């Protein structure tokens, strides 16, 4: 029909790709350093051991820690169980680093960077408490153990280098999120509903803002000097905008009869629906891995969710009371088609839904002894090698 079909890209997935290319290397470095020094494991062990020794007093000690934190102007830890409970709380605070994110996952959240920041904060706090050395030896010993556990975040220069690079690249990534208006702190107020014309105007504003952002990056890109990482970061963002720029726009579709239809900027609604579909199938079957089930689930099964919509039911069969008759008519049409077509035509017309993993039928084939023996025999044969052309 020679129609020009616009391929629209998901803005959220676009950000994921850009964010990974920008921050994956320094983020992976911080993760490897955290694991190499066993920071989380050692902090958990320290907090657990302190908690076991204080288990009988913990309910009262928690209130004491909160009271001390509100009035600790002199940075002196109390003696006895109260001081140990405070050291335990410091270790637990460092371990609660996921609190700093939005539960969106990398690259929108950088949990290992948050953990590194909290560890540095606790390590500096431990220095301040050690300067005013508590009189209780047990408290001083626990505080010293906490400081030694967190020493790598101060002493290992690789931590600082990777974190500096990651923070700089994360700032550029957050600028792009702000421009695309896909930030958690930019959610519309509850009850806000935009008309199609207003939403189209918002999309135009976002498109213009991205254009200005590109120009700003080109102007601020250093052409020479030691800012090599800054140049590389800007080039990554500009390259993705150049490659995927066309697919980011065109979500406002003008209808031939007038009016506007808007397409979602992200795939979040579709993926949320598929997540619910998997959840229902997992509850039905009790299986965790659903590859086998979804390979045999017809694609039209997703349309069953529309039966909760009165307008869909009215178009389909008028009412739910006539639903069995509608299915009967569909079966009658299929039986007529099966009788008129040959088996080869039926196989050619069948649409097989393939998953990203190996389908069950393929697994059955490639695991046969016959195919395995055939491959081994071919690999061990002494047939002359075939010269490949250019």
Domain ranges for the chain, please list them: 38-155, 271-297+341-371, 306-340
Give the pLDDT band (50/70/90) at residue 242: very high
Structure tokens at 388: 């490949």
Helix (H, G, I), strand (E, B) or coil at 383: coil
8-state DSSP, 356:
S
| In contact, 198 and 236? CB cutoff 8 Å | no
Mean pLDDT of 370-384: 64
pLDDT tens, position by position, 157-209: 999 999 999 999 999 999 999 999 887 665 666 656 677 778 888 888 999 99
Q: What is the mean pLDDT of residues 229-235?
A: 92
Q: Between 161 and 369, where is the model more confident?
A: 161
Q: Please give the structure tokens belonging to residue 183.
A: 């930030």
Is residue 172 within 8 Å of residue 221, measured between CB atoms? no
pLDDT digits (tens, 9 = 90+) for 303-345: 888 888 899 888 888 888 888 888 888 777 667 766 665 555 5
Identify whether the C-beta of residue 154 lies closer than 8 Å to the C-beta of residue 123: yes
Which position has the higher pLDDT, 371 or 38? 38
Residue 24 to residues 19, 32, 162, 205, Cα–Cα distance (Å): 8, 12, 11, 30
6 CB-near residues (< 8 Å, 6+ apart): 250
- For range 132-142, the mean pLDDT: 82
Write down the pTM of the prediction.
0.72
Position 239 pLDDT exceeds 80: yes
Rounded distance, CA 318 to CA 312, Å? 9
Nearest-angstrom CA–CA distance, 185 and 104: 13
- Residue 116's pLDDT is 95
Residue 358 predicted with pLDDT over 80: no
pLDDT higher than threshold 60 for residue 346:
no
Say whether 71 sits in a helix, a strand or coil: helix
Provide the pLDDT for residue 386: 43
Q: Residue for token digits 């609660």? A: 96
């Amino acid at each position: 029909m020679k129609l020009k079909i616009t391929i629209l890209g998901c803005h959220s997935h676009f950000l994921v790709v850009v964010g990974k290319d920008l921050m994956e290397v320094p983020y992976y470095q911080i993760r490897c350093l955290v694991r190499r020094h066993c920071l989380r494991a050692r902090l958990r062990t320290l907090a657990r051991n302190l908690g076991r020794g204080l288990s009988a007093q913990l309910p009262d000690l928690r209130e004491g820690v909160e009271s001390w934190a509100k009035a600790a102007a002199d940075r002196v830890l109390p003696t006895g169980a109260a001081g140990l409970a405070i050291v335990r709380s410091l270790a637990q605070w460092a371990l609660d680093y996921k609190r700093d994110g939005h539960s969106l996952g990398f690259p929108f959240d950088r949990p290992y960077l948050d953990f590194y920041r909290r560890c540095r904060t606790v390590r500096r706090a431990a220095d301040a408490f050690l300067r005013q050395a508590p009189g209780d030896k047990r408290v001083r010993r626990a505080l010293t153990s906490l400081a030694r556990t967190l020493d790598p975040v101060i002493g290992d220069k690789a931590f600082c280098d990777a974190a500096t690079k990651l923070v700089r690249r994360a700032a550029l990534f957050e600028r792009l999120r702000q421009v695309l208006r896909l930030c958690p702190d930019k959610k519309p107020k509850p009850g806000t509903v935009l008309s199609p014309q207003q939403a189209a105007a918002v999309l135009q504003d976002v498109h213009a803002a991205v254009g200005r952002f590109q120009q700003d990056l080109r102007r601020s890109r250093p052409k020479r000097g030691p800012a090599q990482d800054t140049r590389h970061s800007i080039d990554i963002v500009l390259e993705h905008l150049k490659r995927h720029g066309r697919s980011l726009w065109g979500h406002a579709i003008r209808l031939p009869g007038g009016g506007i239809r808007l397409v979602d900027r992200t795939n979040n609604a579709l993926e949320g629906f598929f997540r619910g579909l998997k959840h229902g199938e997992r509850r039905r079957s009790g299986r965790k891995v659903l590859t086998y089930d979804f390979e045999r689930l017809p694609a039209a099964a997703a349309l069953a969710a529309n039966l909760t919509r009165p307008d869909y039911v009215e178009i389909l069969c008028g009412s739910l009371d006539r639903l069995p008759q509608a299915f009967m008519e569909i079966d009658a049409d299929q039986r007529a088609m099966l009788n008129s077509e040959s088996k080869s035509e039926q196989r050619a017309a069948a649409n097989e839904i393939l998953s990203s993993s190996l389908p069950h039928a393929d697994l059955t084939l490639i695991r046969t002894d016959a195919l395995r023996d055939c491959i081994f025999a071919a690999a061990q044969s002494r047939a002359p090698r075939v010269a490949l052309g250019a």
